[in-house]
Amino acid sequence: MQSEILPQTDKDRVIIQITDTHLMDKPDAEFVGINPEESFHAVMDDIQQRYKNIDLILHTGDLAQAAFPETYARYLEYMQRFGVDFYQIPGNHDNINLFPFHSPEPIPAVIELDQWRIILLNSAVGGRTDGNIQTEQLVHLKRLLEQLRDKFILIACHHNPFDMHSKWLDQHKLKNADELKAVLEPFDNIKAVLHGHVHQESYNLWNGIQFISTPATCVQFKPLSQEFSFDPIAPGYRCLHLKANGEFETSVHRLDHFKVTINEEISGY
């Protein structure tokens, strides 16, 4: 795991990925024995201290654990204080009917950053833990990719397209990952697919595309665990430096001196 602060040039675009905040309807409420609001704010404080010039912050889902209007309103109000563009996509714990989308479903949102484009997909399905990207979204995605052949592309969704080699967690992956990969395969300008959901850092390379997950801002899941298990490692986030030539560098940071106390009696996701 990388943790250094990457050097930044004037031509770099810097994006921060946060994920799986699992916010409650009240700021002092707990989730599996921790206060997700507290750990989320600690992550945001760390981001501000480490990075002074951020182009955007991207939240890759499970914004809410208690998916009520007040939860989303409080998140939006908090994020607006930073003066940085921010975007979010839903996770399986979010309420699709209340979620603050940036584009009407099923049209993916497209973020422009110089020669880069970031495409936001919804893989959340109401009432389910696993994920699926609806056919209409994939049709729109293919059309967008054909229009953006001269740009460098990042794609974001919530669910993991690849197995994590954790029996319990792999039941909840993106179920139509093969359909997504069939859309992506003809294009050589797609640099990475960012996702959350797995509460840990991971990396897969397929067809020249990096598939990358990021630690949660709240509790972490133990890697390579056959049964549901928390990892007492600290919360974290990811920074990506997008280069003008289409390359990118990325670094994961975890909070220092942040004590994680988890209710080990919780036995399911």
The tens digit of pLDDT for each residue in 44-87 reads 999 999 999 999 999 999 999 999 999 999 999 999 999 999 99
pTM of the model: 0.94
Q: How far is CA 234 from CA 89, 254, 266, in A?
A: 23, 6, 18
Is 6 within the bounds of a domain? no
Q: Answer yes or no: are the C-beta atoms of 87 and 102 closer than 8 Å.
A: yes
Is 192 within the bounds of a domain? yes
Domain containing 220 — which CATH number?
A: 3.60.21.10
pLDDT given at position 226: 87
pLDDT digits (tens, 9 = 90+) for 88-126: 999 999 999 999 999 988 999 999 999 999 999 999 999
Q: What is the domain extent for residue 74?
A: 11-252
Is 129 within the bounds of a domain? yes
pLDDT given at position 259: 73
Is 166 within the bounds of a domain? yes
pLDDT band at 39 (very low <50, low <70, confident <90, very high): very high
Is 257 within the bounds of a domain? no
How crowded is residue 169: how many other Cβ atoms within 10 Å of its Cβ?
Answer: 26
| DSSP codes, the chain | ---SPPP--TT-EEEEEE----B-SSTT--BTTB-HHHHHHHHHHHHHHH-S--SEEEE-S--BSS--HHHHHHHHHHHHTT-SEEEE---TTS-TTT---SS-TTSPEEEEETTEEEEE-----TT-SSB---HHHHHHHHHHHHHTTTSEEEEE-SS-SS--S-HHHHTTSBTTHHHHHHHHTT-S-EEEEEE-SSSS-EEEEETTEEEEE---SS-EEPTT-SS--EE-SPPEEEEEEE-TTS-EEEEEEE-TT------TT----
How crowded is residue 111: how many other Cβ atoms within 10 Å of its Cβ?
Answer: 18
pLDDT given at position 257: 78
Is 90 within the bounds of a domain? yes
Is 93 within the bounds of a domain? yes
Is 269 within the bounds of a domain? no
pLDDT digits (tens, 9 = 90+) for 182-230: 999 999 999 999 999 999 999 999 999 999 999 999 999 999 988 988 9
**pLDDT of 255 strictly over 70:** yes
The number of domains in the chain is 1
